[in-house]
Amino acid sequence: MSTDAAPRPDTAPDIGSTTRREPRLPWIAGRAPARPAPVAAFHSVSAATAALLGLVALGALIHEPVLIPPLAASAALVHCAPALPLAQPRSVIVGHLLGAAAGYTVAAVAAHGSAWAAAVAAGVTLALTTLARTPHSPACATAVVIVLQAPAPGRFVPLLFGATVLLVLTAYAASRVRRAAPRYPAYWW
């Protein structure tokens, strides 16, 4: 065995080189997007938190619990990934309304509180939002909450509609406050 062979590129020492070295395991590095600037991250997170606090205040004012888990996911989408199709107003508002319709329909056919029925409602919501070209994954959680908690539709659906419109409007306003922020929405309908 000869010792004068050149070492393999991934094991060669990097002495004095200014070039960036490739990771030993490139599949671990992934293709995640770049980390946002601290100012941009603070802006997105504070706008989403303010919108959610506004929804909680509204719910407390009218003595109706708000739908925080699905709406928190929606707020994360519209404020932190405003260019995605899932974050557009059409998908947010119509997606949640389709989720509510699926949730109430499945709950009418199956037993309220059933985890099996909740899973079916989420699947039906996914199918409906896909067919309607309004992809919005948090809408599936809306259907699940409806099946598991059985809220009164007369109060719940208007609250859900108002909450989704408020989320969209706060994302629109937040995107206009900071000059460097990405503009929301990419399209309205």
In angstroms, the CA 157 to CA 159 distance is: 5
Angle at 155 between CA 117 and CA 86, to 5 degrees: 60
pLDDT value, residue 58 = 79
Angle at 78 between CA 175 and CA 60, to 5 degrees: 100
pLDDT value, residue 40 = 79
Given a contact cutoff of 8 angstroms between Cβ atoms, the answer to whether 137 and 86 are in contact is yes
pLDDT value, residue 90 = 95
Which parts of the chain have pLDDT scores under 50?
1-6, 8-12
Cα torsion through 84, 85, 88, 90, rounded to 10:
-170
pLDDT value, residue 137 = 92
User: Using one digit for the tens of pLDDT, what is the confidence trace for 36-75?
Assistant: 788 878 878 888 888 888 888 877 887 776 677 898 899 9
pLDDT value, residue 21 = 58
Q: How many CA atoms does the CB half-sphere of 141 hold within 13 Å?
A: 13
Mention every residue, 6+ apart, whose C-beta is less than 8 A from residue 7: 13
Say how many C-beta atoms besides its own lie within 10 A of residue 67's C-beta: 26
Given a contact cutoff of 8 angstroms between Cβ atoms, the answer to whether 160 and 97 are in contact is yes
Residue 77's nearest CA partner among 60, 96, 97, 64 is 96
